Amino acid sequence: MRYISVENTTYTTVKDSVYQILRGAGVNKVFGNPGSNELNFLKDFPDDFEYILCLHEGVAIGMAEGYAQATGLPGFVNLHAAAGTGNAMGALSNSVNSHAPLVVTAGQQARTMVYSDPLLKNSNAVVLPMPLVKDSYEPLSAQEVPHAISRALHIAMSPAKGPVYVSIPYDDWDQPIAHDALHLATRNVVHFGAPSLNELQPLLVALAKASSPVLVLGPEVDALRCNSKAALLADKLHAPVWVAPSAPRCPFPTNHHCFAGILPAGEASLAQKLHGHDLILVLGGPVFRYHQNDPGALLPENAQLLLVTGDAQEAARSPVGDAIVANVDTVLSCLIERITDRKGDCPDFRKPIQRLEIDHSQLEPSAIFDIVDAIAPRNTVYLNEATSTIATLWERVGMEEPGSYYFAAAGGLGFAMPAALGVKLADPTRPVVAFIGDGSAHYSITSLWTAARYQIPVVFIIINNSGYGALKWFSHQFKIQNVPGIEIDGIDFIQLSEGYGIAAHRVSTRAEFSQVFDNAIAEHAPVLIEARIERV
Ligand code: TZD
């Protein structure tokens, strides 16, 4: 830290104080793509920080999001002015839905220049990233910058977590600020969202009275790492556990006997799966994130729905059922303590799977998932963006530990490749495998460069069905034909990957895939496997 003494008062620079505040918040990585407005923030980059260069802003956000979700720490991003922010918006649509605590900063033109509407002025910076951020701000003076960053970190990390944007004029960084601003670096903001026993009484009574309760778990359970508490509760209640639709995380050990599967993302089909239950307890997620237009009653007949969530807005938005806004982990602890075990043995709700032979047959998604499940270590983390295979993955790939699965929370493509890198940085001890479609790959293909440059050992499996499979499936559902723009041919993933500096292998049979994947998962370097399957 450099201190400047002016007229008997000690000052530090805006820049030094901001790095100190970041240290205090546990931030030591900056994910970014720079321009001239950001160089003053980056100059003399501190040794205890790592700058991770991403060649596209969507990659910087995706990587920071993977890192933030997997560590629970804030992900800090530095982008270039309006153009960089604009490029980041698609990725931000996922971050706001996944509750990723990101602080996204962007350089503004110098304060002394903005009057003339110069190049690289972010004209209405505060409005630009809305509505994809929890808060957006541009400090009114250089002296306010450390306060704005400190506030942004606390807002991003407070429930419900989410991205926050700060635009900073580049001539602010060298300005002196009063030494007092350094107190910001040691501030703690702690949230206790524990309801009293009295407040939980109606929930306890409803659970005791229910003859056939069912649990539906959302991503908050995994974010709070209370997956095993949910398993204990399910066991006590003899209740099947479903994962809420359009799941961005895996909140329950899929090898547990109470695991029933993932709910479909349509009103009628979802209600049908829950048929026969009189109490639906949803923990830690929205009710519900539908995708397909499948109109019908939201709940089965005579069923009551209760939601527990840390997100007051999600509670307010629910179209059905009562809600308690509270910390899901705390509520689960209380329920486990108070609920009496149901009599007899808990049934096994798992769906049996017929595993495929590893032979010389043409690859298909089921075989890919079976082989990966058989070979990958049990603590492997999976990311998925092979969009037509989501249901198959959930059926065939075991995910046992917390933090084992990440998916774009708003369905915006371009998430999984960079997020895989962020997840690997967060915990290098866990293998990371990313299933990517041949279409999705191109929204963040430059992630391959960052993986190679920083030697981040992720296995990318491109499931190549020569087109936008999910859109073909939707066309079929909508009973529409002759849709242009859903076939993609002529892309050489091997050359693309090698061009970015990553070893690549093309396979088309189960036996070839098994062999190549076995080697790839043991590698200490990033690897890409192009798994060619039939055109769908
Ligand atoms: N652009 C962005 C940023 N996000 C999107 N979700 C889409 C476009 C639309 N989209 C989907 O929702 S799925 C999909 C597109 C284009 C096809 C992805 O094809 P793929 O995987 O090859 O990656 P599948 O398995 O063939 O569907």
pLDDT in tens, 279-312: 999 999 999 999 999 999 999 999 999 999 999 9
Domain's final residue, options 186, 214, 236: 186
- Best of 57, 440, 536 for a ligand 1 pocket test (most atoms within 8 Å of beta carbon): 440
Ligand 1 centroid to Cα of residue 486, in Å, is: 9
Q: In this predicted structure, what is the pLDDT of residue 87?
A: 98
Q: Which atom of ligand 1 approaches the CA of 470 most closely?
A: 27
Domain's final residue, options 186, 217, 250: 186
Q: In this predicted structure, what is the pLDDT of residue 5?
A: 55
**Shared domain check, 182 and 206:** no
Instruction: Collect contacts of 178-184 with beta carbons under 8 A, ≥24 apart.
Output: 178/9, 178/11, 178/143, 179/3, 179/9, 179/10, 179/11, 179/12, 181/12, 181/17, 181/143, 181/146, 181/147, 182/12, 182/17, 182/20, 184/17, 184/21, 184/24, 184/146, 184/147, 184/150
Assigned domain for 37 exists: yes
Q: State if pTM tops 0.85.
A: yes
Q: Considering the chain, what percentage of its residues have pLDDT values greater than 70?
A: 98
Q: Which atom of ligand 1 approaches the CA of 536 most closely?
A: 26
| Helical axes 197-209 vs 328-338, angle rounded to 10° | 60
Q: Which atom of ligand 1 approaches the CA of 389 most closely?
A: 25
**Shared domain check, 169 and 203:** no
Whether the CB of 308 sits within 6 Å of ligand 1: no
Count of domains observed in the chain? 3
Alpha helix segments (H runs only) across 77-183: 81-98, 145-157
- Span 230-281, pLDDT tens digits: 999 999 999 999 999 999 999 999 999 999 999 999 999 999 999 999 999 9
Choosing from 35, 72, 321, 499, the catalytic residue is 35
Whether the CB of 503 sits within 6 Å of ligand 1: no
Structural domain boundaries, residue 489: 365-532
- Span 431-474, pLDDT tens digits: 999 999 999 999 999 999 999 999 999 999 999 999 999 999 99
Is 35 one of the catalytic residues? yes
20 token code pair = 């100190």
Q: In this predicted structure, what is the pLDDT of residue 1?
A: 55
**Shared domain check, 168 and 108:** yes
Assigned domain for 191 exists: no
**Shared domain check, 313 and 282:** yes
- Best of 460, 464, 471 for a ligand 1 pocket test (most atoms within 8 Å of beta carbon): 471
Domain's final residue, options 338, 353, 379: 338
Mean pLDDT lowest among 188-202, 213-227, 505-519: 188-202
Residue 6 reports pLDDT greater than 60: no
Q: In this predicted structure, what is the pLDDT of residue 233?
A: 98
506-525 in b/e burial notation, b at 16+ Cβ within 10 A? bbbbbebbbbbbeebbeeee
Sign of the C-alpha dihedral computed for residues 84, 85, 89 and 95 taken in this order: positive
**Shared domain check, 271 and 140:** no
Choosing from 32, 56, 57, 514, the catalytic residue is 57
Ligand 1 centroid to Cα of residue 385, in Å, is: 8
Is 485 one of the catalytic residues? no
Assigned domain for 358 exists: no
**Shared domain check, 130 and 36:** yes
Protein residue whose Cα sits closest to atom 24 of ligand 1: 469
Residue 39 reports pLDDT greater than 90: yes
**Shared domain check, 137 and 216:** no
Predicted confidence band of residue 409 (pLDDT cuts 50, 70, 90): very high
Predicted confidence band of residue 9 (pLDDT cuts 50, 70, 90): low
- Span 77-92, pLDDT tens digits: 999 999 999 999 999 9
Chain mean pLDDT for the chain: 95
- Span 123-139, pLDDT tens digits: 999 999 999 999 999 99
Assigned domain for 210 exists: yes
Q: In this predicted structure, what is the pLDDT of residue 184?
A: 87
Give the CA radius of gyration of the chain: 24
Residue 73 reports pLDDT greater than 90: yes
Q: In this predicted structure, what is the pLDDT of residue 10?
A: 64
Assigned domain for 355 exists: no
Whether the CB of 365 sits within 6 Å of ligand 1: no
Choosing from 17, 32, 38, 388, the catalytic residue is 38
- Span 173-206, pLDDT tens digits: 999 987 777 788 888 887 776 888 898 999 999 9
**Shared domain check, 381 and 300:** no
Q: Which atom of ligand 1 approaches the CA of 413 most closely?
A: 4
Residue 2 reports pLDDT greater than 60: no
Distance CA(26)–CA(73), nearest Å, equals 7
**Shared domain check, 287 and 219:** yes
128 token code pair = 């630009």
Q: In this predicted structure, what is the pLDDT of residue 187?
A: 83
Assigned domain for 360 exists: no
Ligand 1 centroid to Cα of residue 270, in Å, is: 23
Whether the CB of 497 sits within 6 Å of ligand 1: no
Ligand 1 centroid to Cα of residue 480, in Å, is: 18
- Span 372-389, pLDDT tens digits: 999 999 999 999 999 999
**Shared domain check, 392 and 486:** yes
Choosing from 411, 422, 439, 467, the catalytic residue is 411
**Shared domain check, 498 and 389:** yes
Q: Considering the chain, what percentage of its residues have pLDDT values greater than 90?
A: 91
The CATH number of residue 325's host domain is 3.40.50.1220
Whether the CB of 387 sits within 6 Å of ligand 1: yes
**Shared domain check, 206 and 181:** no
- Contact predicate 126/136, CB 8 Å: yes
The CATH number of residue 421's host domain is 3.40.50.970
**Exposed, middle or buried, 455 (CB in 10 Å: 0-12/13-18/19+)?**
exposed
Is 38 one of the catalytic residues? yes
Assigned domain for 359 exists: no
Assigned domain for 452 exists: yes
Alpha helix segments (H runs only) across 302-438: 312-317, 328-338, 365-375, 390-396, 416-426
- Contact predicate 26/74, CB 8 Å: yes
